[in-house]
Amino acid sequence: MMHPAWRDACLKVLLGGRRAQLAVIPEGNTRVWSCSHDRGFHTSPSSRAAQRAQAPAMEDYPSEVIRNFSIIAHIDHGKSTLADRLLELTGTVPKLRKDNQQVLDKLKVERERGITVKAQTASMFYSYMNKRYLLNLIDTPGHVDFSWEVARSLAACQGALLLVDATQGVQAQTLSVFHVAKEKGLVIVPILNKIDLPAAQPELMAAQMQSTFGVDPSDILHISAKTGKGIENVLQAIIERIPPPASASAKNDNRLKAFLFDSSYDRYRGVISLVSIQSGVLQKGDRIQSMATSKRYEVTDLGIMSPEEKPTASLREGQVGWMVCGMKDSAEAHVGDTMHRVGETVEPMPGFKLAKAMVYAGIFPVDSNDFVKLEESIKRLTLTDRSVTVSRESSTALGQGCRLGFLGTLHMDVFRQRLEDEYDANVIITAPTVPYKVIYRDREQLVSNPTDFPDVTDTSNKVVEVQEPVVNASIIVPEEYLGEMMDLCFAHRAEEMDYRYLDVSGVTSSRILLKAVMPLSEIVTDFFDKLKSRSSGFASFDYEDAGYKASNLAKMVFLINGKPVDALALIVHRSAEQAVGRAWVKKLHKVIPRQLFEVPIQAAIGKKIVARETLSAMRADVTAGLYGGHHERKLKHLENQKESKRRMKKIGSVDLPQEAFFDILSSKS
C-alpha cells in the first residue's frame, strides 16, 4: 500500500500540480487506482470494465418510457438548484452538502460567477406507477449571451420546464426562451419557484404568467427548489405531460440515425460527442458516417451522462448519450450533424440554425512567443464552445493573434476566463466590435476588424453606404423607472420605442415591457451595467437580431507621435466621435511612458483630428552646472536643448509596451 504522502506527491507531479482525488476500485484480488482531476476523468480499462458491468441495460427502456426535457428560465431563477433536487430525488446523486451545490455547473467560471455557461446533460431513472422511466435532463444557461446554447439544447427535447421566480415574475429572457421553445413545438410545463421566500407572490405571478403566456393557472406547479417542496409533482408532470420521443420503429425503420447536438474534448480519447438517437441502435464497434463531412468512424465507446460518464452496451431510439468514435479534429464535430451507419442512407435532420457571432475581438498573447500555445488552447476550448468563430490575425503592435467572434460581451469575458483558468493563458483582448456591412458601387463587404474598415471620408474608396447591425431590444422594468430607461435608450441611439404594461390590471406596482430598435454596437459596451445601475437592479434585458440598417459611421485611428496604432482602431458613430476620441486619448495619456521629447496623442477620423493630448517631455536641467555670468549663457543652453528635442521628435519612435495595451484595453474608465 502506497503511503498517502508519497501518493499525493506522485499525483501532483503527474497532473502538473492540478487538484486531484484518488480512489481505489477493488476488483477481485487486485486494486485499480483511478484519479479524477479538474480537467476531466480518466480511469484504467479494468475500472471502466467494472463500471460497464454495473451499467443499466438500455434495451429495457424503449422510447415510450423516455422523457427528454430541458429547464428554461431567466438568469438566477433557480434552474441549477431545481436540477440538483431532481438528481437527488431520483437517486442519481447522493443528497448534496452545502459545499457541493449546482452539480451540473462543472466549470470553475460557473461556480465563481454563479451562472450556467455550458449546457449539461444528465440521465435519471425514476419509478412511477410501477413503471421504470428514463428521464434525460438538459440544464440550460439563462443569460441572453448564451441563447444559442438554449436553442441547441431544445433541439434534442420534447418538453421544457418553464421556471419563473415567484418574487421577480416574468423577465425579458423568460419571454425569449418561451418563444424559442414554442417555435420548436415543445410541450411547456409552467413552474413557479421560490414560493418559500417572504417576498413571494405566487397568485400574482400565476396571473402574470396567464396573461403573458396564456397558460392555465391550475397547470402551474408551485415549488421551492431550495427546500425540495413540490419536486415530486415536477417529476410526475414530466412523465404525464411531456410526450415520449417519436418512434421510428413503428414505421419499421430500424436504420441508425443520430443527431449530434454537443461535443467536448478529452486529451486521451479525443472528441466526445453528445448524440440523440432518432432511430435504430448504436453499439460499440459500429461503423458510422457523418452526413456533413462524409467521414467514417468506428464507435470505440459510448454511454450516458448520469451526471458523469457511465458506459453502456448500447444507445437506442429516443435515448440521449455520449460516444467516442476516434474524432481528433474539432472541425469534424458539426453541431446539428446527422450520423448514420455506413452503407445505409437516411434523411438528414432538419437544418440546425448555427450560431451567429454578434461581437468580435482580437486575442493576443502577452508574450508573442506563446502564440502557438494560445492557438492550440483556443482550438481545444472552442470544441466545448462551438458558438465561437476563430480566424488568424496579425498586428504590427501586438504580433500574431486570433480574431474571435462571440455571442456577446459576457460570452467573451467567460471565454477569456476559461482560457486563463483551464489553459494558464495570459492574453490581451482588443476592444469589442460588431460586424459592419460596407456597400461599394460594385460589391458588398462584411467587416469585423476595424483595421479593414475603409476611410469613408475618402471619395476614391467608392463607398456608397455603411450599414451596422441592429437588434430588437426588450426591457422589462417597474413603472417608476420608465423615464430613466427611455433616457438611457435615447442616449444609445434607440429608435421606434414602444411600451406596454405587462402585469395584470388592478395591480399598483405594474411593470412595463419597453421595446426599441437599437444598434448592436451600443449594447456591447457598457449598456448592461448602466441599465442595472439606473434601474436599481430591477430591469431585465434581452435582444434578438434585426438585420442591418444604414448609419453614419467612420473609422477612428489613434496617432502617437504622428504614427497610427492599428490595434487601437475603432469604428464610431459620427455623433459620438468627440466624446469617444477625448476619452481614449486621456486613457492613452495615462499609460504611455514619458519620452525625452514631447509626444502628441491624437484621435483622427480621416484627416481630421477630433481630440488631442500632449505628453510632456522628460526635461533635464541643463543649466544646473552654470553659475555666474550673463543670463544669455543660460538661454543658449536652453535653446540647444530645445533644438535637440525637435530633432529627436522627428526621428524618434514611441513603442507601446504590452503592459500599456493591457491597461488600455482592460480599463473601462
Known binding-site residues for GTP equal 73-80, 139-143, 193-196
The candidate with the shortest Cα–Cα distance to 587, out of 607, 601, 570, 573, is: 601
Distance CA 299, CA 590 (A): 58
Please report the beta strands in 435-585, taking only residues with DSSP state E, as ranges in sequence order. Answer: 436-440, 444-447, 463-478, 495-501, 511-519, 540-550, 553-560, 563-564, 570-573
Give residue for cell 456608397.
464
Euclidean distance between the first and the last CA atom of the chain, given in angstroms as a whole number = 58
Give residue for cell 418563444.
179
Question: What letters, b where the CB count within 10 A reaches 16 and e where it falls short, cover 196-227?
Answer: eeeebbbeebbbbbbebbebeeeebbbbbbbe
Other CB atoms within a 10 A radius of the CB of residue 148 amount to 21
Distance CA 475, CA 173 (A): 10
For residue 194, give the amino acid letter: K
Nearby residues of 315 by Cβ (< 8 Å), 6 or more positions away = 58, 258, 275, 277, 281, 282, 302, 303, 304, 321, 323
The candidate with the shortest Cα–Cα distance to 530, out of 388, 426, 668, is: 668
For residue 322, give the amino acid letter: W
| Local structure of 574: helix, strand or coil | helix
State the DSSP string of 303-341.
EEESSSEEE-SEEETT-EEEEE-----GGG--TT-EEEE
Please report the beta strands in 329-462, taking only residues with DSSP state E, as ranges in sequence order. Answer: 338-341, 359-365, 389-395, 399-406, 427-429, 436-440, 444-447
50 by Cβ neighbours in 10 Å (0-12 / 13-18 / 19+) ranks as middle
